[in-house]
Amino acid sequence: MIRLDKYLSDAGVGTRSEVREYCKKGLVTVDGDVCRNFGQKIDSGRMTICFRGNAVLRETDAAVCYMLNKPAGYLCATKDSEAQTVFSLMPDVDTEHFFPIGRLDKDSEGLLFITNDGMLSHKLTSPRMHVPKTYEVWVSGTLTEEELTSLRKGTDIGDNTPCLPAQVTVLRTESTYQLSVEERMKLPSSLPDTIEASHVRITIYEGRYHQVKRMFHANRHEVFRLKRTAVGALCLDQNLHPGAYRRLTTEELEQLTAGINR
């Protein structure tokens, strides 16, 4: 943690006294809110600091982003007293400055970004940006045309407004899908161990709580496996086995943010 005025001064915005005047005039924001308290403690790895609307980044806070192929069974958190977090898969990454962008449920898997860049996180998770996120899900039953239309037009999941329209493709259906022990635990006990199931690709443009699972539940289907395969235009590297990670290239970072409203 560092004082806001020192951070801005270190970043070359101005002298400490000049920076304090900028704060008093409302020219500095922290996570989108005007901050006139120049003595406020900030964490530049988790907060977005802007001067006159432009993000401020010190040379010592170089933006880094990792792609992780998250396995099921890990929490998207920097620490937890009871469960393993994704950082147990990344022992060389500093949890004091790095954090997950968005979340995947503990039992979900696939593409997860880990970064120290608050601005990147904001761009990818802000509800106003409508960044597409693509998942492959395995659900109970076979989807009817009526249910597919509901998903594609915007399903009501019990919130104040229906979800935004989603892109949905049924990849295949199986009449006798044998559930694993882990999959069986995610479904109602009334279902047998062998069920009719569908493998579906879905792209959504929001990030509501348990949104994909709730969308299918509202259409009378239960998700028993969920894997995120893409965020924006960037897909999960197929060479990354579950639990593996690597740093994004400059080109991939540009691809990740391409087309996002600023």
Composition of the chain by helix, strand, coil, percent to 5: 25, 30, 50
For residues 227 and 238, the answer to whether their CB atoms sit within 8 Å is: no
Q: CA-to-CA distance for 130 and 132, rounded, in angstroms?
A: 6
Q: CA-to-CA distance for 188 and 131, rounded, in angstroms?
A: 32
Q: CA-to-CA distance for 37 and 173, rounded, in angstroms?
A: 58
Helix residue spans in the chain (DSSP H): 4-10, 16-24, 118-125, 145-153, 181-184, 211-218, 250-257
Q: What is the DSSP letter of 193?
A: S
| 107 a catalytic residue | no
Catalytic residue among 105, 107, 156, 193: 105
Catalytic residue positions?
105
